[in-house]
Structure 1
């Protein structure tokens, strides 16, 4: 399954949080999330908002939080082994990756009914991200999305 933009899927290198220069926001976020620990979803949202405090327009942070929440929630609900979320900010691109440890690729589903509570996560990612995709990674997979900063 690939997103709107094809081509190589460069993996982010390194692990952990790397602080930026004095007074600059951190350029990377890395969190390990426990199995079915849905309390980590708002924690990831807050950490991502802090990371994006000086990047892009405010609505970009809102979209990033929404999409990251969807991917993290999917990984925690549909797998039994926790997840790892990594967000990397470059000059004009935010890349968020959520890795889980279960085989099988996610399925893009059409939501059932207007009031249905399931099936909208990947549809939102597909419609709001500038690029997104899935790649296998050892035992499991990484679902990722990118947002590109818009010129003012």
Structure 2
């Protein structure tokens, strides 16, 4: 699992850099979103089949496609003291919206970030 998460983060980092969105706190949030979505695909389905990043003038959309049609359960907040249940909570907190849809023999879990957050967010200092 760690290898495909690292590959997904590297792919996303390069896309953000190519699009000029690589130097804000929101770009770091985007990498965390990708990590969470890929990890969830590994833990709760048959792993990631495809990671898709698309951008238009308003939003960056992250989609992780996997091999099950079971949609994720939404929990409003993680249960204190219990393991798990934090992945989608993190996705909900960091994205502007998220969701999932089943199709054929799989599903896509997606998250969107408004591009203005990527363009004008707080710079990351290195």
TM-score grouping bracket, smaller chain normalisation: 0.7 to 0.9
CA shift at 1:80, angstroms? 2.5
| RMSD of aligned Cα (Å) | 1.9
Query: 1:95–1:144: 8 Å Cα contact kept in structure 2?
Result: yes
| Stretch of structure 1 that moved more, 85-94 or 129-138 | 85-94
Q: 1:81 to 1:64 in 2, by over 3 A?
A: closer
Query: Match for residue 98 of structure 1?
Result: 64
For 1:98 and 1:65, locate their aligned partners in 2 and report how far apart those are by CA, in whole Å: 13
Query: Match for residue 41 of structure 1?
Result: 5
Aligned length: 115
For 1:104 and 1:139, locate their aligned partners in 2 and report how far apart those are by CA, in whole Å: 10
Q: 1:56 to 1:90 in 2, by over 3 A?
A: farther
**Structure 2 counterpart SS, 1:44:** helix
**Structure 1 counterpart SS, 2:73:** coil
Higher RCO (Cα < 8 Å, 6 or more apart): 2
TM-score normalised to structure 1 length:
0.67
